[in-house]
Structure 1
Amino acid sequence: MAESVKDMTSNFNKLNKFDGSDFHRWQKKMHFLLTTLKVVYVLSTPIPEVDENSTLEQVRRRNKWENDNYICRGDILNGMSDSLFDIYQHVGSATELWNDLESKYIAEDASSKKFLVSDFNNYKMVYSRSIMEQYNELVRILGQFTQHNMNMDESITVSSVIDKLPSSWKD
């Protein structure tokens, strides 16, 4: 048991705190961590119902779900920057927290995709900077396309990059 807690802590330390940017990447890493901890199911499974006729097994399942929800919610909150933690700490369940984050940051992700496309389309290479520096900047922008699951045909990419070169470099 102590060894698994140690493993869990070391895995958690590898996750960068979510600060409001790159939500999609953070979400994937957090989902993987929650899967490793075997608590991710609470994000998609409703709380088991119990009543006065419930069996001991049903009560145990509900108690396990409540405990796992607490752990899941805590890990999501611990994966956030302090300023975001302060905003979201009062959200009751892991599912509600996860959904709130998705609704806010997926929308922002969509607007950042529009910005990325605009950034790429408007990029122009200039004489005053080294070609490699500018090439690396374009590679970074195109890498962000991949991060956001935005695909561009290779021939369009090559043609677009050539169009961004100063006229004397196109030869």
Structure 2
Amino acid sequence: MATRSALINVMVRAAEKAARGLVRDFGEVEHLQVSRKGPADFVSAADLKAERTLREELQKARPEFGFLMEESGESKGSDAEARWIVDPLDGTTNFLHGLPHWAISIGAERNGEIVAGVIYAPIGDQLFWAEKGAGAFVNHTRLRVSERRRLEDCVIATGIPFKGRGDHATFL
């Protein structure tokens, strides 16, 4: 069984707390009126609420860290070399459409380098985590790189830009 560091545990606790509200909100998505204003506003409110929870929990544990938050932007901490990087609702389009493939993403950066990360997908209760020098895990199982050498033997997934975002032709 994998042993998580104190830093990873802080991130996991914050993600689990924010997840409770997001899961509750996710259950309400199907009841929303399908219009541009209604669901989009609802998801924005869910995003902001989760971001507030994450900020509070992470700041409580590491008050000296700065933040780079998807919704509220950057704020400096007393330790100029350390910050949290947070996406409170990674997969908003899926969330909005009632698809269970969304997560909370948290990274810890020190001296410009990502040193730890947590991605928590609460609907499937999947916790992906990694720390520099300690490996990568899903829940308590170590992740390993495949032995496959030929591209045609591999499964590859990506997010392709849509609705005028990004360079769609390049991705195709």
TM-score, reference length from structure 1: 0.35
Structure number, greater radius of gyration: 1
TM-score, reference length from structure 2: 0.35
Q: Which has the higher helix share?
A: 1
Determine which structure has greater relative contact order: mean sequence separation of CA pairs < 8 Å that are 6+ residues apart, divided by chain length: 1
